């Protein structure tokens, strides 16, 4: 009996020792920050924000993976398809969020936002640009707007008033834009009056001001003559050497920033990130023939009231298969919150949220008060092709613009070619 009753007692003692050892092991286990694997591209304005976040606390560490800008869209989709370890990523071509979400790569954020209670001012400011099927699926970092950037020195050399003069007079229309571009050009291709980059989305700028989606979310045509009118105007301007030729940009791979850095374009229509690139160009000493105070920005041309510009915020997603979803949300919310906004402003980009503190920082990144006021003014920013068809619409315009500018598609056939392409997109998009 002693052996029988003693065995369970010994066993209990042994179990207790093992359990105590296990507890001591857990208590002694090393602790450290939760690691968030985050993918983005090699933009000089993004790294300082990530570095500042890592330095601001010890609970979360962001392991940033930087991909090259030119093929980021393709590579990030490939990585997501292969379920590469990733907690969050930044979306470069905003309309790609629709196929990414449809393919199950993106985690809806509503529950995480409620659970964490993070600052969501930026989300509420751009809610319509961040939602699919009524669910918030992204957190914005950068704001949204296209502007006319101009080289004051080139205008002064020609004795031509700068674009902001016409904005103040209420005459900054597209016809005036074409007229001014011709006036400030050298006429021999050494200095162009204007440049608009070769992205297909940039050729939709007139249509965006009419707040047309090209194809509606339910698969209906929603456009007028804005696309044809823009490309027709561009074709004339390229022929008279007042607009940088689109095909030349593609063939020579000449980036819009280099055109501006080199003092070869008087006006550049591009997005809210460009002050940061000028800031970087200044610090690298690559501004040719002009200095920091020789540039400004104002509204893009407009033929209607109210004023509408083009753009969608730049944002990040939490992946559906993330190991650390809550930590990932806390990080991208910090990027888009007051702390991240001030750092982004210091890099010369328009943050998704702008308060008085952000405006103070932006004074160091924008050369004059008028430009700063235009940069942060309240405005309608219309996102083009913002639905499941958007990526394919941009690809269609990329092809069509080149065919038209090279004379392969005459004016009489333009709308027929456009409609056929759009109908194919509607018919073949799931």
Domains of the chain: 34-143+313-353 (3.40.190.10), 146-310+383-428 (3.40.190.10)
**Three-state SS for 62?**
strand
> Do the Cβ atoms of 394 and 200 come closer than 8 Å?
yes
In angstroms, the CA 203 to CA 397 distance is: 8
In angstroms, the CA 333 to CA 345 distance is: 16
β-strand partners of 131: 136
For residue 292, count other CB atoms closer than 10 A to its CB.
Answer: 12
pLDDT tens column, 105-126: 999 999 999 999 999 999 998 9
pLDDT tens column, 186-203: 999 999 999 999 999 999
Distances (CA, A) of 324 to 79, 115, 176, 206, 331: 18, 14, 53, 42, 11
pTM of the entire predicted model = 0.84
Res 59 pLDDT > 80:
yes
pLDDT at site 295: 98
Q: Residue 66 contacts by C-beta under 8 Å, 6 or more apart in sequence?
A: 40, 41, 42, 47
> Do the Cβ atoms of 87 and 38 come closer than 8 Å?
yes
**Three-state SS for 98?**
helix
Q: Residue 334 contacts by C-beta under 8 Å, 6 or more apart in sequence?
A: 53, 56, 118, 340
Q: What is the average pLDDT across 338-345? A: 94
What token pair was written down for 91?
A: 């979306």
Q: What is the average pLDDT across 224-230? A: 96
Res 418 pLDDT > 90:
yes
pLDDT tens column, 144-191: 999 999 999 999 999 999 999 999 999 999 999 999 999 999 999 999
**Three-state SS for 205?**
helix
pLDDT at site 44: 85
Q: Which residue has the higher pLDDT, 9 or 31?
A: 31
Q: Residue 279 contacts by C-beta under 8 Å, 6 or more apart in sequence?
A: 347, 348, 365
Res 205 pLDDT > 90:
yes
Torsion angle of C-alpha atoms 23, 28, 34, 35, degrees rounded to 10: -120
280 confidence band (pLDDT: 50, 70, 90): very high
Res 18 pLDDT > 70:
no
Burial track 370-393 (b if 16+ CB lie within 10 A, e otherwise) = bbbebbbeeeebbbbbbbbbbbbb
Res 390 pLDDT > 50:
yes
pLDDT at site 45: 87
Q: What is the average pLDDT across 201-217? A: 94
Res 68 pLDDT > 50:
yes
What token pair was written down for 83?
A: 């379920």
Distances (CA, A) of 86 to 35, 90, 317, 382: 10, 11, 10, 30
pLDDT at site 16: 46
The proportion of the chain whose per-residue pLDDT surpasses 90, expressed as a percent, equals 87
375 confidence band (pLDDT: 50, 70, 90): very high
Res 30 pLDDT > 80:
no
Res 86 pLDDT > 50:
yes
Lowest-confidence segment of 9-18, 152-161, 247-256, 350-359 by average pLDDT: 9-18
pLDDT at site 31: 67
Distances (CA, A) of 84 to 37, 80, 137, 150, 190: 10, 6, 19, 42, 46
H/E run at residue 53: helix 47-56
> Do the Cβ atoms of 229 and 209 come closer than 8 Å?
no
pLDDT tens column, 245-262: 999 999 999 999 999 999
Res 392 pLDDT > 90:
yes
Res 357 pLDDT > 90:
yes
Question: Got the DSSP string for 267-300?
Answer: EEEEETTHHHHHHHHHHHT---S--GGGEEEEPP
**Three-state SS for 103?**
coil
């Amino acid at each position: 009996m002693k052996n029988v009753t003693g065995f369970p007692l010994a066993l209990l003692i042994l179990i207790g020792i093992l359990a105590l050892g296990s507890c001591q092991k857990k208590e002694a286990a090393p602790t450290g920050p939760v690691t968030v694997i985050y993918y983005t591209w090699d933009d000089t304005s993004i790294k300082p924000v990530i570095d500042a976040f890592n330095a601001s606390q010890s609970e979360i560490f962001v392991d940033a993976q930087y991909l090259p800008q030119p093929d980021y869209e393709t590579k990030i989709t490939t990585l997501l398809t292969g379920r590469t370890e990733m907690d969050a990523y930044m979306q470069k071509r905003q309309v790609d969020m629709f196929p990414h979400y449809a393919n199950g790569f993106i985690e809806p954020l509503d529950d995480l936002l409620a659970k964490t209670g993070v600052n969501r001012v930026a989300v509420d400011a751009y809610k319509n640009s961040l939602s699919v099927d009524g669910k918030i699926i992204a957190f914005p970092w950068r704001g949204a707007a296209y502007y006319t950037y101009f080289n004051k020195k080139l205008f002064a050399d020609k004795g031509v008033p700068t674009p902001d003069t016409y904005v103040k007079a209420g005459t900054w229309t597209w016809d005036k834009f074409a007229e001014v571009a011709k006036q400030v050009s050298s006429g021999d291709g050494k200095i162009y009056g204007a440049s608009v980059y070769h992205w297909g989305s940039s050729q939709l700028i007139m249509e965006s001001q009419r707040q047309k989606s090209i194809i509606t979310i339910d698969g209906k045509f929603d456009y007028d003559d804005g696309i044809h009118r823009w490309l027709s105007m561009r074709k004339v301007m390229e022929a008279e050497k007042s607009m940088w030729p689109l095909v030349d940009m593609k063939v020579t791979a000449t980036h819009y920033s280099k055109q501006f850095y080199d003092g070869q374009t008087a006006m550049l229509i591009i997005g809210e990130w460009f002050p940061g690139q000028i800031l970087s160009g200044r610090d690298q000493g690559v501004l040719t023939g002009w200095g920091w105070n020789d540039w400004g920005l104002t509204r893009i041309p407009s033929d209607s009231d109210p004023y509408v510009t083009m753009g969608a915020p730049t944002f990040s997603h939490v992946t559906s298969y993330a190991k650390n979803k809550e930590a990932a949300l806390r990080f991208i919310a910090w990027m888009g919150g007051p702390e991240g906004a001030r750092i982004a402003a210091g890099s010369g980009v328009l943050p998704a949220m702008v308060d008085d503190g952000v405006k103070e920082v932006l004074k160091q990144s924008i050369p004059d008060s008028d430009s700063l006021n235009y940069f942060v003014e309240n405005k309608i920013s219309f996102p083009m092709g913002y639905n499941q068809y958007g990526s394919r619409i941009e690809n269609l315009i990329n092809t069509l613009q080149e065919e038209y500018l090279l004379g392969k598609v005459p004016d009489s056939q333009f709308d027929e070619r456009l409609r056929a392409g759009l109908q194919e997109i509607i018919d073949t998009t799931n």
